[in-house]
Amino acid sequence: MKTLHYTFKDESASYYHFVEMLKEMLSLTLTNNIFLFNNQYYRQKRGVAMGVKFAPAIANLFMGMFEDIHIYTDTMYRENVVMWSRFIDDVLLIWKGTSEELNEFMKRANGNPFGIVFTGFSSRTEINFLDLTIYVQENKLLTKTYRKQTEVNSTLFATSCHFDPVKNNIPKGEFIRARRNCTDSQIFEHECTTLHNRFKARGYKTRFIKAASDKAHKITRDQTLNRTNSGLAAEKRSDIVKFITTFCANNRIIRKILRKNWHLLKLDEHIRKYIDDHPTMIYRRAKTIKSTISPSMLPEEDQHPRYTWLQTTNMGFRKCGCCTMCKHAHGPTIKFTDSFGISTMIKENINCKSKFVIYAIICICNKIYVGSTIRELRIRIREHLSSIRSQDSSLPLAVHWQLSHQMDDKNGIKFIGLKKISIGRRGGNRELSLRQQEARTICHFRATRVGLNSDNEMGVFL
Ligand SMILES: [Zn+2]
Ligand SMILES: [Zn+2]
């Protein structure tokens, strides 16, 4: 918060409200970092949480304040500093004093009340900074790529399931980086050979590697140092509708279908205004092996409670035994196979009195209606039955009954609870997740096509 006050101290009054709002929002996010450990909630008191979006910006502001107070105002040694450049928390310093003076300067910088500690390395001939080795040759400063001694070839495997353009751009980026980093052309050639071998070892096709290498050879080092005009990219229209989906191995097929049928969307005079000539795809990150085997939240300890002889370990749907709807209860399970051919089991204990349930009503003609309720399941089922009795023409089940069955057969209707929606320890929107699960289940049963549902609300996923 001190950093914030310092940063905004000179802001003119015209920005006052904006600055105050920004301060308030930041203080909310900075002081409310809550995490869970050993079933206890903790609030982080010091520092910025790892991984938050604005962490680098705050770190920069903080270091900026630090420099203002402790470095630029250092009257004793300031004249010895030829250059002080910082990248977030790494500093490159060119010093013209003696090494004793440098040590003294470092000591002074470290004696700050913020707990910032500098560890430094100094040399008259060669120094490593970020991914560069900066060295002196014939009174000039030259650079080349720096690799840590412990570095291994961790380039993404060519066989990885990543999006193709992502993989293809890795060689390009690496070769251009080599071009930018190496001042000496001989060292650049050597670096290219190293890169070639590294990519080869990770299964990249020679064709791609060569194309990337050629591209880097064609441009000059000065060109790579020119900042690309990022403003141009930002000018792209922001109101264009994008196709956003979770990344999966089938994305190529999806893309192909979209491309093939894109012209159909272009035919519509309203939609036309909001779409590009080609579909713009954006991929959400999918589940990885890592996130599957080491989730950030461990399962609750008491997930498999021990059962006594009174209780049952059999999961599924049961009658409650004491309500008027029990006579309509279906058996404990129902086999249903989703569109991928995977059959699902009922994994909870559900009965007529369960709340937040996805249920299915099975008609005497074996057609299925899928629904959800936040109230007790029996209440919802009773409503369905009375809608049939009152011949309510707005409800799909009642309409189906009017068209296909005799009123007397009503007792043949069965219902079953399929899934109970609970919220995890991190909280969440239970009703939304209920409606999303309902939409999924309707898809699984194909209830709009072969069942009794009249429509499926997909808006709940937006
Ligand atoms: Zn019951
Ligand atoms: Zn029927």
- Both 283 and 334 in one domain: the answer is no
Please give the Cα distance from 455 to 288 (Å, whole number): 33
Tens digit of pLDDT for each residue in 102-143?
Answer: 888 888 888 877 778 888 888 888 888 888 889 988 888 888
How close is the Cα of 411 to the center of ligand 1, in Å? 15
Placement of tokens 């650079």 in the chain: 143
Tokens (6 digits) for 54: 């604005």
**Beta partners for 359?**
371, 417
224 token code pair: 């790579």
Tens-place pLDDT, residues 137-169: 888 888 888 888 888 888 889 888 888 888 888
pLDDT at position 204: 92
Is 180 a domain residue?
no
What is the CA(424)–ligand 1 centre distance, in A? 27
* C-alpha neighbours within 13 Å on the C-beta side of residue 160: 18
- Examine the domain organization and report whether 333 and 427 are in the same domain: yes
Q: Is 141 a domain residue?
A: no
The mean predicted confidence, pLDDT, of the chain is 83
- Residue 355 vs residue 80, higher pLDDT: 355
Same domain, 356 and 453: yes
Indicate whether 283 and 325 sit together in one domain. Answer: no
Q: How confident is the model at residue 202 (pLDDT cuts 50, 70, 90)?
A: very high
Same domain, 25 and 102: yes
Q: Judge whether 322 lies within some domain.
A: yes
Distance (Å, whole) CA 97 – CA 380: 83
Whole-number Å distance, alpha carbon 404 to ligand 2 midpoint, is: 6
pLDDT at 286: 84
Instruction: Say whether both 451 and 322 belong to one domain.
Output: yes
Give the domain-ending residue among 77, 106, 122.
Answer: 122
Choosing from 290, 325, 359, the residue where a domain stops is 290
Given a cut of 70, whether residue 233 has pLDDT beyond it is no
Confidence of residue 171 (pLDDT cuts 50, 70, 90): very high
Spacing, Cα 243 to ligand 2 middle (Å): 38
Pick from 296-300, 368-372, 406-410: least confident: 296-300
Q: Residue 165 falls within a domain, yes or no? A: no
Q: How many A from CA of 380 to the centre of ligand 1?
A: 12
Q: Which of 107, 122, 137 is the last residue of a domain?
A: 122
State whether 360 and 403 are in the same domain. yes
Cα(329) to centroid of ligand 1, in Å? 7
Number of the ligand closest to the Cα of 363: 2
Q: Which ligand is nearest to the CA of 323?
A: 1
Q: Give me Rg for the CA atoms of the chain.
A: 32
104's tokens: 């003294």
Indicate if the pLDDT at residue 1 is higher than 80: no
One-letter amino acid identity for 168?
A: N
- pLDDT given for residue 341 in this prediction: 62
pLDDT band at residue 355, thresholds of 50, 70 and 90?
Answer: very high
In a domain, 363, yes or no: yes
Q: Residue 381 belongs to a domain with what CATH number?
A: 3.40.1440.10
Q: Which of the pair, 339 or 58, is modelled with greater confidence?
A: 58
CB of 359 closer than 8 Å to CB of 417 = yes
Distance from residue 127's CA to the centre of ligand 1 (Å): 77
49, part of any domain: yes
Q: Which long-range contacts (CB under 8 A, 24 or more apart) does 396-404 make?
A: 396/369, 396/452, 396/453, 396/454, 397/361, 397/363, 397/369, 397/452, 400/363, 400/367, 400/452, 401/363, 404/365
Residue span of the structural domain in which 10 resides: 2-122
pLDDT more than 70, % of the chain: 91
pLDDT at 302: 56
pLDDT at 395: 86
CA atoms of 451 and 362, how far apart (whole Å): 9
Q: Which ligand is nearest to the CA of 415?
A: 1
Same domain assignment for residues 282 and 400: no
Residue at token pair 């012209």: 263
Chain centre distance of CA 14: 37
The yes-or-no verdict on residue 11 having pLDDT over 70 is no
Mean pLDDT, residues 220-247 taken together = 72
* DSSP E strands, 161-293: 243-246, 281-284
Centroid of ligand 2 to alpha carbon of 366 (angstroms) = 6
CA 459 to ligand 2 centroid distance, Å: 28
> Residue range 358-362: average pLDDT?
92
**Token pair for 66:** 């630090």
Q: Are residues 266 and 405 in the same domain?
A: no
Does one domain contain both 415 and 346? yes
Q: How many domains does the chain have?
A: 3
Give the pLDDT of residue 438: 93
Q: Using CB atoms within 10 A of its CB, is residue 384 exposed (0-12), middle (13-18) or buried (19+)?
A: buried
Determine the distance separating the centroid of ligand 1 and the alpha carbon of 96, expressed in angstroms: 86
- Inside any domain, residue 19: yes
**Residue 333: which pLDDT band, with cuts at 50, 70 and 90?**
confident
- Assess whether 362 and 443 both reside in one domain: yes
Instruction: Find the 193 Cα to ligand 2 centroid distance in Å.
Output: 71
Which of 1-5, 229-233, 368-372 is modeled with the greatest confidence?
368-372
* 230 occurs within a structural domain: no
Do residues 255 and 372 share a domain?
A: no
Q: How far is the CA of 418 from the centre of ligand 1 (A)?
A: 15
CA distance 193 to 195: 5
Cβ atoms of residues 324 and 350 within 8 Å: no
pLDDT at 451: 84
Q: What pLDDT does residue 312 have?
A: 58
What does the angle CA 86 – CA 87 – CA 91 come to, to the nearest 5 degrees? 40
The confidence band for 381, taking pLDDT boundaries of 50, 70 and 90, is very high
| Span 278-324, pLDDT tens digits | 888 888 888 888 888 887 776 665 555 555 665 656 678 888 888 99
Among candidate residues 341, 345, 376, 297, the one with its CA nearest the CA of residue 446: 341
